[in-house]
Amino acid sequence: MDLSSLLRVFKLTLPVATAYVPLGLALGVFMVSSGIDWYWAPISALVIFAGSIEFLVVTFIISGQPLIAVAWTALIVNFRHIFYGLSFPLKSMKSRLQKAYGVFALTDETYAIVCASKGRPLRGIDISLLQVISHAWWVGASFLGAVLGSLLPAEVTGFEFALTAMFIALAADAVSNDSDMSLLTYAAISCVFGALMEFYILKSSFLGSGLICYLLLISKDYKQAKMEVPLHE
């Protein structure tokens, strides 16, 4: 790979860094402030590499949740990656190691860059480098956050709210761009459905049943839109 290609891929990771660096810093500080040794922040960032799950893992560790609960939550939260894999250009990656890392390091941000890249399409080596640099942003920020967290006084709290704040911002952006308010309506219906499942049928099923309900509702609209396309053409 020549220097121009390397610089091009690095520039593509800069928008990723704007998300990974502040969240990684918050994760590192959150771990240390929760009583977890600082070195677990970069280790979890390196091995898990799933931002929302890493924040939840801290809560799981503190509350002593069973492994099956952790595995189920991780599956539900990252279930969308199954659909990402349907269009991710894994075939452009040649070696098995490259493909394995491509699956492991598939995130929302890198997927968006790969699938929406303008101009010259990214080669397999470009995609791998994109993922490696993005991963490095996350690990480095988590490490720096852990170091800073160990220097902060114990009175400084509230870093656990970083993930909640991020999802609130994403939800507000989605609602502002939802002209017919269908997504907000589906979210409300899914919450009610999840609550009913939780209280009357199966305990600890709110998240899973709510997400399944939401998936079915938006799948209905997708199927209907797909059927209407030939009529407009």
* Cβ–Cβ < 8 Å for 39, 26: no
Whole-Å CA distances, 127 to 91, 102, 113, 220? 11, 8, 9, 33
Nearest Cα to Cα of residue 49 among 93, 106, 102, 5? 106
- Tens digits of residue pLDDT in 30-82: 888 888 899 999 999 999 888 778 888 887 888 777 777 778 778 777 777 77
Interval 144-170 mean pLDDT = 74
Q: Do the beta carbons of residue 129 and residue 102 sit within 8 Å?
A: no
pTM of the full structure? 0.69
d(CA 89, CA 122): 9
pLDDT band at 215, cuts 50/70/90? confident
Please measure the distance between the N-terminal and C-terminal CA atoms of the chain and give it in whole angstroms: 44
d(CA 154, CA 157): 7
Higher pLDDT, 10 or 229: 10
Residue 232 has pLDDT above 70, yes or no: no
Instruction: Name the amino acid, one letter, at 10.
Output: F
Average of per-residue pLDDT across 197-204: 85
Looking up tokens 């080596």 gives 125
Helix 162-176 × helix 3-33 angle, to 10°:
120
Per-residue HEC secondary structure of 167-183 comes to HHHHHHHHHHCCCCCHH
**Residue 163 pLDDT greater than 80, yes or no:** no
